[in-house]
Chains A and B, each alone.
Chain A
């Protein structure tokens, strides 16, 4: 669907995407807020169809890093490469155009509005003069939701009536539909029950199965350890460690985060 709007972007990415090359690479990124240094010399990358757990205690810089990646902030130093090409984000719209989507903690859903209208918020398909193609909205939103493994039948159901896990599902189905290539989940399970958290972790694996890369931000190691392929640990704005799952375990990760020093296993 996004083909209609951004054919140029699509063509560019087909041209230069190489297999096994990272989908996104952030090189030597610095970000300052006034006198405070939020990020310093960050080298961060995500491979294709990979789930990276972005962890670190509160205030480590996780939010700032993904805000730079999604076009919310501009880095003060460093470069970003997407699918091999150097990119310059002036606004979140630029990042969205390339396929970088963020699912926020608060899900960015309107509670009293239907699922279909929520999925297409701001990007409603129209039939002319701005009048919405309701049939398409209903069908496509249900399609995306089912693809994720979420069992909701009624596109007119109001989001408020859904459980926390289902709401996350709707938010994730939304980015799925708009053909995200890189999905950033910002603390997605922080307020969910055990059962709902498992549900969302399942969605995350579904994303990977569809070839989409995921950055999973959390300060809770235990949950993300189940699904992540790699862990990138931030501490006080600096990169602390970048380990593959097979090279580590939960205790080691916790030790790294808490001690704030680099240690080889």
Chain B
């Protein structure tokens, strides 16, 4: 049992856990009226956390494989837009979902292809694709929000599935986050594909020499990111009941922050799903806690910036010290 726990929570993920708990206590004490732990706040947090969480899981997985994806900020509004457009054309709901997911995976596929075939640094490529898609979405939507109530009745099955609550208390979003975290966790830690992800990120020439299709691994990870962005964009769309052109703004940085806080090393090959999961919750409660404490909204991004740096430094130091 001890061994299982040790494997499951790598050294750095346990550090994140400590930070997470410390922050919970901190905000519990210092938030006005201890509102941090009030039921309303907890419900709101668990409802919103998966927005970042889903994207962070994908981005973190890709980082372990050794690449970055900055284009998530644009894939989210793109998928949301595709979803809304399909709805407005009267497409059956199930097809709206499937086509939206397909669109996200396709964007991911394009990112992966360009990165692996041109061998350019991924952050430049995805910077470029982020700008590319953003321009398209802005132009196509003229930055006007599009409400979905015209085509979606209240209480439809899609709402129950993606924005409802179980037992009226637990928001369904957090269950989706847990679901994907478990699936990706099993994939990364127990499946041979996960081994390929680790070795591709750790030593790509070694992996290739051993017959691992590193390009295929990276493209698959990019497609997973794209799919998760589409899923999250759709979920967010239904929750706020509209498409908004500024959906996803800033998510690329927060996703990287979540990964780094969760123990992912920027050069690849090191990281874990539990770590990323905790990392995204940590970033989320920092945001939430600071707002409750009355911190100015702009200050939050400053904190996230500082968090990225501090944890990136810590991760490198920890990797050198523990040799793991």
* A–B: direct contact at CB < 8 Å: yes
Chain A minimum-CB-distance residue to B323 = A161
Q: Chain A contact residues: over half helix, strand or loop, or mixed?
A: loop
A106 B198 Cβ-Cβ under 8 A: no
Q: Chain B contact residues: over half helix, strand or loop, or mixed?
A: helix
B192 A112 Cβ-Cβ under 8 A: no
Instruction: Let me know if A93 is at the binding interface, CB within 8 A.
Output: yes
Chain B minimum-CB-distance residue to A116 = B195
Total chain A interface residues with beta-carbon distance under 8 A? 29
Across-interface contacts of B196 in A (CB, < 8 A): 122
B324 A158 Cβ-Cβ under 8 A: yes
Known: A121-B195, A132-B190. A111 touches B211 (CB 8 A): no
| Interface 9-mer from A28-36, A123-131, A224-232, A237-245 | A123-131
Across-interface contacts of A106 in B (CB, < 8 A): 205-206
User: Residues 4-26 of chain B: 1 if any A CB is under 8 Å from the residue's CB, otherwise 0?
Assistant: 00010000000000000000000
How far apart sit A198 and B210, CA to CA, in the bound complex (Å)?
Answer: 26
Across-interface contacts of B190 in A (CB, < 8 A): 131-132, 134
How far apart sit A130 and B211, CA to CA, in the bound complex (Å)?
Answer: 16
How far apart sit A196 and B211, CA to CA, in the bound complex (Å)?
Answer: 28
Contact partner of A132 (CB less than 8 A), chosen from B192, B205, B324, is: B192
Q: For this complex, into which size category does the number of interface residues on chain B fall?
A: 20 to 34
Across-interface contacts of A107 in B (CB, < 8 A): 206
A112 B202 Cβ-Cβ under 8 A: yes
User: Residues 175-206 of chain B: 1 if any A CB is under 8 Å from the residue's CB, otherwise 0?
Assistant: 00000000000100011110110110011011
Chain B minimum-CB-distance residue to A160 = B323
Contact partner of B211 (CB less than 8 A), chosen from A112, A118, A123, A132, is: A123
Across-interface contacts of B1 in A (CB, < 8 A): none
Minimum C-beta distance from A179 to chain B (A): 16
How far apart sit A228 and B26, CA to CA, in the bound complex (Å)?
Answer: 67
Q: Which residues of A, 114-155, contact B by the 8 Å Cβ criterion?
A: 117-118, 120-124, 126, 129-132, 134
Instruction: Let me know if B319 is at the binding interface, CB within 8 A.
Output: yes
Q: Which residues of B, 283-324, contact A by the 8 Å Cβ criterion?
A: 319, 323-324
Instruction: Let me know if B108 is at the binding interface, CB within 8 A.
Output: no
Known: A122-B196, A131-B186. A112 touches B324 (CB 8 A): yes
A132 B206 Cβ-Cβ under 8 A: no
A contact residues vs B (CB 8 Å cutoff): 92-93, 96, 104, 106-113, 117-118, 120-124, 126, 129-132, 134, 156, 158, 160-161
| 7 A-B residue pairings within 8 Å (CB atoms) | A109-B206, A121-B206, A123-B211, A130-B191, A131-B192, A132-B192, A160-B324
